[in-house]
């Protein structure tokens, strides 16, 4: 296949869940298919990061993108400006007319060789391809984005922020519904997300792929710390992570401290001001900011935690910790979409008291830590290699293309000719759910 991919970002370094998932999939896909990648490039990103993309594609084009720092005055001004728009802020901020024009040029009928597939990575940049006269087209949805905003809205206390989140949630519902039906197919990252797309939008054109992990890279590292170290990793400017760690600090950490002394490592890029402030308020918390490698932090921890109350898709961070043999304590939302079982390969708890109790129990029992950690690693190594996930992803793409080719040939036999894409394929009913 010859595939044109539009993503919102470069994929290296692989320091976010989305980058990890997409890079692993497309490194496999690029071995057999011809991939062109168009994406945004931030000012701080280097030529070396662009060159690293050769692992995922044959050609790459980037377009300059300046993202306003979150939680600053200019950021809030942008949020205020979005009030008059019918489109949600997280969609509108990625709209680039020059990028859209270039994609349209590449997909124009008569271009040789023609692309077989248009694929958009994440919902956020999809406005740059929406309504272009090309098919087949696939949206790779790492989350059901409206669900994340719904949960943000539900967790907020009454006030202007809650009202704003409500408006964004409603805008996202409308936009996500339109995108779900405009794309011929949606690839989701869990069966739960497939069911949610059907429930919210009646979208039957969805398939799921499992979450993968590189169990050779993420391996047990030997001795854990002598102290009661707990670690949480992730992009610390992502709102669900910010909410999760602040909730942990205010509601759960005091309960743990009543039982035993602990050290909390918050590891991840671009920590928001609210996250940095936690270290000042709580001497037990260490906020690292960006690190070259999260494995040493996970490796020395006695417990890995995922105190998320908001989210969607799946959390690859859980599989990474499991692959390193670490016992994981998570909320059910934090482990949503993963085939894990409480007490077998993970510890699940939702209330502050239960979450604290599960952590305290594991910190106090080395045998339980080993048993849970070994079970988690076994689950990852036996079932979730990136090679197997990429094969399923490729199969879905090939089936969508084959369905379009078959429909085009049938239409040509009947003499039809309307709405033909650059590949010569005409949109028809989307491929069914599997």
Q: Write the DSSP string, 130-174.
A: TT-S--SEEEE-SS-HHHHHHHHHHHSPSSHHHHHHHHHHHHHHH
- Whether the model clears a pTM of 0.75, i.e. scores above it, the answer is yes
pLDDT at 421 over 60: no
Nearest to 124 by CA among 168, 73, 81, 190: 168
pLDDT at 147 over 60: yes
Give the mean model confidence (pLDDT) for residues 188-213. 95
Q: What is the pLDDT of residue 78?
A: 95
Q: Which residues of 398-425 are buried (b: 16+ CB within 10 A; e: fewer)?
A: eebbebbeebbeebeeeeeeeebbbbeb
Give the mean model confidence (pLDDT) for residues 358-370. 97
Longest dimension (CA), the chain: 76
Q: What is the pLDDT of residue 427?
A: 33
| Burial of residue 197 (number of CB atoms within 10 Å: 0-12, 13-18, 19+) | buried
Give the mean model confidence (pLDDT) for residues 262-269. 96
For residue 291, CA distances in Å to 217, 220, 246 come to 16, 19, 21
Which residue is it, tokens 């709102």? Answer: 239
pLDDT at 4 over 80: yes
Q: Which residues is 137 bridged to in the sheet? A: 118
Q: What distance in Å separates the CA atoms of residue 272 and residue 156, rounded to the nearest whole number?
A: 18
pLDDT for 228-253, tens place per residue?
999 999 999 888 999 999 999 999 99
- For the chain, give the percent of residues with pLDDT over 90: 80
* Cα–Cα–Cα angle for 123, 318, 51, rounded to 5 degrees: 55
Which residue is it, tokens 């406005």? Answer: 127
Contact 252, 284 (CB under 8 A): no
Give the mean model confidence (pLDDT) for residues 264-292. 95
Give the model's confidence band at 426: pLDDT under 50 very low, under 70 low, under 90 confident, else very high: very low
Give the model's confidence band at 314: pLDDT under 50 very low, under 70 low, under 90 confident, else very high: low
Q: Which residues is 265 bridged to in the sheet? A: 231, 286
Give the mean model confidence (pLDDT) for residues 323-338. 94
Angle, in degrees to the nearest 10, between helices 145-155 and 160-182: 170
pLDDT at 430 over 60: no
Q: Which residues is 232 bridged to in the sheet? A: 266
Q: Which two tokens stand for residue 9?
A: 């970002």
- Backbone phi, psi, residue 81, to 5°: -65, -30
- Backbone phi, psi, residue 122, to 5°: 85, 150
- Backbone phi, psi, residue 2, to 5°: -110, 115
Q: Which residues is 64 bridged to in the sheet? A: 41
Give me the chain's average pLDDT, please. Answer: 91
Which residue is it, tokens 């077998």? Answer: 344
Q: What distance in Å separates the CA atoms of residue 128 and residue 8, rounded to the nearest whole number?
A: 10
Neighbouring CB atoms inside 10 A of 333's CB total: 21
Q: What distance in Å separates the CA atoms of residue 138 and residue 117, rounded to the nearest whole number?
A: 8
Q: Which residues are CB-contacts of 354 (< 8 A; sequence separation ≥ 6)?
A: none
pLDDT at 196 over 70: yes
């Amino acid at each position: 296949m010859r595939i044109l991919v539009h993503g919102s970002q470069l994929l290296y370094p692989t320091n976010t869940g989305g980058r990890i998932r997409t890079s692993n999939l497309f490194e496999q896909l690029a071995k057999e298919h011809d991939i062109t990648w168009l994406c945004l490039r931030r000012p701080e990103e280097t030529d070396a990061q662009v060159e690293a993309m050769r692992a995922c594609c044959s050609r790459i084009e980037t377009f300059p993108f300046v993202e306003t720092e979150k939680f600053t005055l200019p950021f809030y001004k942008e949020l205020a400006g979005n009030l008059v728009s019918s489109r949600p802020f997280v969609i509108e901020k990625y709209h680039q007319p020059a990028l859209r024009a270039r994609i349209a040029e590449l997909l124009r009928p008569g271009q040789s060789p023609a692309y077989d597939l248009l694929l958009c990575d994440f919902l956020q940049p999809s406005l740059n391809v929406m309504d272009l006269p090309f098919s087949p087209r696939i949206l790779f949805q790492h989350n059901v984005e409206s669900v994340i905003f719904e949960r943000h809205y539900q967790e907020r206390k009454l006030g202007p922020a809650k009202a704003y989140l409500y408006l964004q949630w409603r805008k996202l519902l409308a936009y996500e519904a339109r995108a779900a039906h405009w794309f011929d197919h949606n690839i989701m990252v869990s069966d739960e997300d497939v069911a949610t797309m059907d429930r919210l939008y009646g979208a039957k054109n969805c398939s799921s792929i499992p979450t993968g992990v590189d169990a050779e890279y993420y391996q047990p590292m030997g001795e854990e710390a002598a102290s009661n170290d707990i670690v949480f990793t992730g992009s610390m400017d992502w709102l669900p992570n910010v909410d999760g760690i602040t909730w942990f600090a205010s509601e759960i950490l005091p309960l743990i401290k009543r039982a035993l002394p602990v050290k909390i490592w918050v590891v991840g890029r671009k920590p928001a001001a609210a996250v940095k402030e936690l270290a000042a308020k709580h001497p037990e918390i260490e906020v690292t900011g960006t690190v070259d490698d999260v494995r040493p932090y996970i490796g020395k921890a006695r417990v890995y935690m995922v105190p998320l109350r908001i989210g969607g898709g799946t959390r690859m961070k859980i599989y990474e910790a499991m692959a390193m043999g670490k016992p994981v304590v998570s909320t059910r939302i934090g482990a949503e979409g993963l085939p894990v079982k409480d007490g077998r390969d993970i510890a699940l708890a939702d209330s502050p008291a239960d979450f604290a109790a599960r952590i305290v129990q594991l910190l106090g029992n080395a045998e339980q830590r080993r048993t849970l950690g070994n079970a988690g690693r076994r689950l990852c190594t036996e079932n979730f290699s990136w090679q197997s996930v990429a094969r399923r992803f490729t199969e879905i793409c090939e089936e969508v293309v084959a369905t379009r080719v078959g429909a085009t040939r049938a239409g040509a036999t009947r003499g039809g000719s309307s709405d033909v894409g650059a590949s010569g394929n005409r949109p028809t009913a989307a491929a069914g759910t599997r």
